[in-house]
Amino acid sequence: MSAASLFVILVLAVIIVALVLDKMRPGLILFSGAVLFMCTGILTPRDLLEGFSNKGMVTVALLFLVSEGVRRSGLLEQLLARLLPKGQSTVKRVQLRMMPVIAFVSAFLNNTPVVVIFAPMIKRWAERAKLPATKFLIPLSYVTILGGMCTLIGTSTNLVVHGMVLDAGFEGFTMFELGLIGVPVAVAGMIYILFASKRLLPDDRPDSAENSEGNEGKGVYHRVEAVLAPRFPGINRRVEDFDFKRHYGATLVEIKRGGRIISRGLHKERFREGDTLVVMADDSFMRTWGESSVFVMLANGKESEPKLSPRKRWLAIVLLLLMIVGATVGELPAVKEALPGLQLDMFFFVCITTVVMALTNIFPARKYTKFISWDILITIASAFAISRAMQNSGMADSIAALVTGMSHEHGPIVMLAVIFLITNIFTEIMTNNAAAALAFPIALSIAQHMGVDPTPFFVTICVAASASFSTPIGYQTNLIVQGLGNYKFQDFTRVGLPLNLITFALTVALVPLFWPF
């Protein structure tokens, strides 16, 4: 193994430790690693910048805006309101009614806004129906993840891998191609959740702060739950050193973190990303900070009002449908032959959809930067550069030769299982996009060393990088529901680890059938 390969391994080890310790945002960590590779000549400036112009990365950025437009339509709230029973019901019946629809929605929209909209509504409904909200919130997060596996645009990970596949000179995925494995995994996952919820999910853990109103000065104060985003300015600062009341006009009552409710000694605690703050605030708090990027979600126990007129609400849905249908039809061989000068792929149609939504003010065009998660984009772009460094240094080839030499007699299916496990372990302890980027060059080199088609490995990476069920830190939707449901870390491990194993078994068994080596 060359000196350059050893250096890349050392830097990658530092990157992984930094991601696990969460001392900086993932995007900055990966970008720092990429800059270090550029300084040592492993990457050229062109290599470093290629990820920022990749179609997959730009598509992810535009899909944030499309998802915001659909979120503002209010139709998702209306959909869930119809799904939730009006009378008495059971946990199993409600899950059976909700999960397929939520999975379908998540196949075409970013998972985070789906959970941000649905989670508070489900919690309020569960309290009224006298059913434990804890039986619904983790399943909500898991089902959005499962649904996202089914289409090219269901999760940013699929688009990242798709971009890497194109860069490597192979044909990318079509809109519904990943559904060949995603749909069976999603169906099996929902069946598992349906029967495992009663035994493995905890019963309700009541909040210590009551849903009460109080008077403070001239205003009426309500209980509000706020999930902290990475842009919250007090991250890693002590409560006593950050005047929350002065910044936001609300009184901090408690912090919910990892299934614990912290109210005593609150002033000594440090704010962490993903914390759920319980605050007492007046009605102006929601109006002022409801669309702020410092909070992932705000919930005050009330139904939110649609922000668009009925005409614009339906226009948002029509545009989304046209985008999906257009990208699907545009990939057909007959269309490609008829219009050789146009590449009618997802990038083409998401660009058009975004511009039309901006021109019709479906999302506020002047504030469009607020709705894009820039750290995710920098993570994706830097991940492309790091993947290239692994290839340029020869590190990916060295690892691939070592692995294939040790288990050559077992065939490519064993290697498929190894790639799944490596990617899945990475995604549980750091970001899914970084996990996919680290696994991709190794998988490509393994396929080349074995002389087989790499497509099965690419598909496996898509599934394994998304299948973050065993920890709350691997996926943002897990962090959101953790605070709302007062879940402990082990709650995710208890119910999520079997789901990881089900996903692993189905992926290794089915992928070679649909994408032969």
pLDDT band at 88 (very low <50, low <70, confident <90, very high): confident
Side chain identity at residue 202, one-letter code: P
How many Å separate Cα 399 from the centre of its chain?
29
Ranges 60-69, 123-132, 422-431, 453-462, most confident: 453-462
Q: Which two tokens stand for residue 450?
A: 């074995």
User: What is the amino acid identity at position 20?
Assistant: V
CA angle 221, 486, 203 (to 5 degrees): 115
How does the average pLDDT of the chain come out, rounded? Answer: 87
Q: Rounded CA gap, 175 and 347, in Å?
A: 11
* Residue 123 C-alpha from the chain's centroid: 21
- How far apart CA 387 and CA 434 sit, in angstroms, is 9
First to last CA, the chain: 28
Per-residue pLDDT reduced to its tens digit, 364-421: 888 888 888 888 889 888 988 998 898 888 888 888 877 776 655 667 888 899 999 9
| Least confident residue range of 128-132, 210-214, 374-378 | 210-214
- pLDDT tens-place string over residues 41-54: 999 999 899 888 88
Q: For residue 210, is pLDDT > 80?
A: no
259, pLDDT greater than 90? no
* Cα distances (Å, whole numbers) of residue 501 to 356, 393, 419, 448, 497: 43, 34, 14, 27, 6
Bridge partners for 255 per DSSP: 262, 277
> What's the pLDDT score for residue 407?
58
Phi-psi region of 431 (alpha: psi -120 to 50; beta: other; left: phi over 0): beta
Closest CA to 399 of 348, 440, 369, 365: 440
3-class DSSP state of 262: strand
Contacts of 381 (CB under 8 A, 6+ apart): 31, 51, 52, 54, 57
**Spatial CB neighbours of 130, under 8 Å, sequence gap ≥ 6:** none
**Which residues make Cβ contacts (< 8 Å) with residue 124, sequence separation at least 6?**
301, 303
Q: Where are the beta strands (DSSP E) in 202-335?
A: 214-216, 219-228, 251-257, 260-262, 276-281, 295-299
pTM for this structure? 0.86
Q: Any bridge partners for residue 295, and if so which?
A: 228
What pLDDT, in 10s, does the model give residues 24-44? 788 888 899 999 999 999 999
The Cα–Cα gap between 418 and 416 comes to 5
Contacts of 43 (CB under 8 A, 6+ apart): 34, 37, 385, 388, 389, 392
Read off the pLDDT band of 142 (50, 70, 90): very high
* CA–CA dist 175, 161 (Å, integer): 13
- Rounded-to-10 torsion of CA 318, 75, 277, 492: -80
Please return the burial class of 309, using the count of CB atoms within 10 Å of its CB with bins 0-12, 13-18 and 19+.
exposed
The pLDDT of residue 305 is above 80? no
Domain 214-299 indexed as CATH 3.40.50.2000: no
